[in-house]
């Protein structure tokens, strides 16, 4: 039950409307809204110092040019940093701690390069370009020829008002800043096309393709015809770094493996992400492929651990089905049949590493993988 006289319920104002339905006044005549608001017009135009003082305009011009010059210098420094700073060089910064020097240098120089162009353009617009407010009346969508000619005139006048021709210093420094700014974009594009042949990131070669030096009785590498004598790399447990004997590999066991001597290379982490291998022992009669059996030893087989989809580590082995599973997107590889893909987005089998056993009973790889490891890439062949 509600009481019409209840003072706690706010009353709706009685509003009257005009023909178009617009509210114009309350019925009691109070707070009437005007039918039309007056156009307040534009505030009076205030001239800037540079509008009447050529010395101030010149000063602004130099400031704009200085900002564009800062952008150019930053772009040049970007290129120098890209060429000179190593990918593994670190630098310690307050708050951030230890970070990659190359990332910091590229980020800071790119920021100054963009800031210089942005601040220069804003300062130019605020101090030198015309600041007269103009009103454009509405017109039909397709302008008539006269209006179109007018638009061209406005654009021409705009270019004149920006003083681009009168201020060659700005014209050239802006051209330089914008022109040089294209270089970092191109550099990143070209840099992203790799890895190039011979690069440590080149997926066609891994540490298994090279040997380790044979040490003589004096503990120094043996030399023959002026060259260091090498032998194939042994399979080492990851992370213990100990060599694996064939007799250690019991039926059903799995070993995570890295090549011997990997920690003595200049870029061990880059080598590890390419050369990681999984060693599996299964009953030899379960292996369906003669080639796979041939590249293994009594049912012990080794495959690249780098997923051929996008390079995650394929480390989950299902012993009863002999399936290797990649945890990233569930690509599944059949170990009994050349590690072919039986499920998931990967497009090609995991490359196999041929293994043999030396006189001391240790496993070694006589040569590297026949196929590039990891994700497919267009020039893989
Ligand atoms: Fe292995 Fe995607 S990286 S399935």
Question: What pLDDT does residue 189 have?
Answer: 83
Measured from the CB, is residue 282 less than 6 Å from ligand 1?
no
Going from the Cα of 236 to the center of ligand 1, the distance in angstroms, rounded, reads 25
Going from the Cα of 362 to the center of ligand 1, the distance in angstroms, rounded, reads 32
Cβ neighbour number for residue 369 with a 10 Å cutoff = 25
Measured from the CB, is residue 312 less than 6 Å from ligand 1?
yes
CA distance 243 to 235: 6
Q: What tokens appear for 321 in the block? A: 């089905």
Window from 164-173, 191-200, 368-377 with minimum mean pLDDT: 191-200
In DSSP notation, 215-249 reads B-TTSSBPEETTEE-EEPPBEEETTT--B-BGGG-
Measured from the CB, is residue 329 less than 6 Å from ligand 1?
yes
pLDDT at 201 over 80: no
CB-CB contact of 260 with 277 (8 Å): no
Mean pLDDT, the chain, rounded, equals 87
**Arithmetic mean of pLDDT, 353-374:** 94
pLDDT at 1 over 50: no
Question: What pLDDT does residue 8 have?
Answer: 47
Indicate yes or no: pTM above 0.85.
no
pLDDT at 104 over 50: yes
Question: Where in the chain is CATH 2.102.10.10?
Answer: 203-380
Cβ neighbour number for residue 200 with a 10 Å cutoff = 15
Burial class (CB in 10 A: 0-12, 13-18, 19+), 381: exposed
Ligand 1 nearest atom to the CA of residue 312, by list position: 3
Higher model confidence: residue 3 or residue 88? Answer: 88
Measured from the CB, is residue 309 less than 6 Å from ligand 1?
yes
Window from 6-20, 65-79, 192-206 with minimum mean pLDDT: 6-20
Question: What pLDDT does residue 140 have?
Answer: 67
Residue in 305, 324, 328 to alter for ligand 1 test, most ligand atoms within 8 A of Cβ: 328
Question: What pLDDT does residue 198 have?
Answer: 63
Question: What pLDDT does residue 160 have?
Answer: 86
CB-CB contact of 349 with 336 (8 Å): no
Summarize pLDDT for 20-79 with one digit per residue, the tens: 555 555 555 556 677 778 888 778 888 888 888 999 999 999 999 999 999 999 999 999
Measured from the CB, is residue 115 less than 6 Å from ligand 1?
no
Measured from the CB, is residue 346 less than 6 Å from ligand 1?
yes
Measured from the CB, is residue 176 less than 6 Å from ligand 1?
no
Going from the Cα of 211 to the center of ligand 1, the distance in angstroms, rounded, reads 30
Residue in 307, 315, 341, 347 to alter for ligand 1 test, most ligand atoms within 8 A of Cβ: 307
Whose CA is closest to 299, among 290, 312, 286? 286
Ligand 1 nearest atom to the CA of residue 307, by list position: 1
CB-CB contact of 211 with 261 (8 Å): no
**4: pLDDT confidence band, cut at 50, 70 and 90?**
very low
pLDDT at 17 over 70: no
Phi, psi angle pair for 221, to nearest 5°: -60, 135
Residue in 306, 309, 313, 333 to alter for ligand 1 test, most ligand atoms within 8 A of Cβ: 309
pLDDT at 278 over 80: yes
CA distance 169 to 86: 37
Measured from the CB, is residue 345 less than 6 Å from ligand 1?
yes
H helix runs in 93-140, sequence order: 101-127
**6: pLDDT confidence band, cut at 50, 70 and 90?**
very low
Summarize pLDDT for 143-190 with one digit per residue, the tens: 888 989 999 999 888 888 888 888 889 989 999 999 999 999 888 887
Please report where in the chains the tokens 């970007």 appear, as a residue. Answer: 78
CB-CB contact of 379 with 199 (8 Å): no
CA distances from residue 237 to 10, 244, 249 in whole angstroms, order as listed: 82, 7, 11
Question: What pLDDT does residue 36 have?
Answer: 79
Going from the Cα of 304 to the center of ligand 1, the distance in angstroms, rounded, reads 13
**318: pLDDT confidence band, cut at 50, 70 and 90?**
very high
Ligand 1 nearest atom to the CA of residue 311, by list position: 3
CATH classification of 203-380, choosing from 2.102.10.10, 2.30.29.30, 3.40.50.10800, 3.30.360.10? 2.102.10.10
Measured from the CB, is residue 279 less than 6 Å from ligand 1?
no
**380: pLDDT confidence band, cut at 50, 70 and 90?**
low
- CB-based contacts of 367, cutoff 8 Å, min separation 6: 208, 209, 232, 354
Going from the Cα of 263 to the center of ligand 1, the distance in angstroms, rounded, reads 27
Question: What pLDDT does residue 29 have?
Answer: 52
Question: What pLDDT does residue 288 have?
Answer: 94
What proportion of the chain, given as a percentage, has pLDDT over 70?
A: 88
């Amino acid at each position: 039950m509600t009481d019409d006289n209840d003072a706690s319920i706010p009353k709706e104002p009685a509003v009257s409307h005009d023909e178009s339905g617009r509210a114009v006044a309350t019925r009691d005549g109070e707070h009437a809204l005007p039918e039309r608001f007056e156009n307040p017009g534009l505030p009076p135009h205030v001239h800037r110092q540079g509008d009447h003082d050529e010395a101030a305009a010149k000063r602004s011009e130099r400031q704009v040019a200085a900002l564009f010059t800062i952008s150019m210098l930053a772009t040049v420094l970007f290129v120098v940093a890209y060429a000179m700073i190593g990918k593994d060089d670190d630098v310690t910064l307050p708050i951030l701690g230890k970070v990659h020097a190359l990332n910091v240098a590229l980020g800071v120089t790119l920021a100054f390069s963009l800031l210089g162009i942005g601040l220069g353009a804003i300062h130019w617009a605020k101090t030198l370009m015309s600041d007269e407010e103009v009103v454009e009346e509405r017109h039909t969508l397709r302008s008539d020829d006269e209006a179109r000619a007018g638009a061209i005139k406005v654009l021409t006048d705009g270019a004149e008002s920006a003083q681009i021709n009168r201020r060659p210093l700005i014209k050239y420094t802006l051209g330089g800043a914008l022109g040089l700014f294209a270089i970092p974009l191109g550099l990143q594009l070209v840099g992203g096309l790799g890895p190039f042949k011979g690069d440590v990131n080149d997926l066609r070669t891994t540490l298994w393709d090279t040997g380790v030096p044979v040490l003589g009785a004096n503990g120094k590498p043996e030399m023959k015809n002026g060259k260091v004598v090498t032998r194939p790399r042994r399979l080492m447990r990851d992370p213990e770094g100990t060599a694996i004997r064939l007799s250690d590999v019991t039926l059903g066991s799995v070993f995570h493996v890295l090549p011997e001597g990997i920690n003595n290379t200049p870029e061990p982490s880059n080598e590890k992400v390419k050369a990681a291998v999984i060693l599996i022992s299964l009953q030899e009669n379960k292996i369906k492929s003669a080639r796979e059996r041939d590249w293994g030893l009594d049912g012990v087989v080794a495959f690249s651990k780098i997923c051929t989809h996008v390079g995650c580590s394929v480390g989950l082995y299902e012993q009863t089905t002999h399936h290797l599973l990649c945890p990233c997107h569930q690509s599944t590889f059949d170990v009994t049949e050349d590690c072919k893909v039986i499920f998931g987005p990967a497009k090609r089998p995991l490359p196999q590493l041929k293994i043999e056993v030396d006189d001391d009973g240790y496993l070694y790889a006589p040569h590297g993988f026949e196929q590039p490891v990891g994700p497919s890439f267009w020039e893989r062949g």
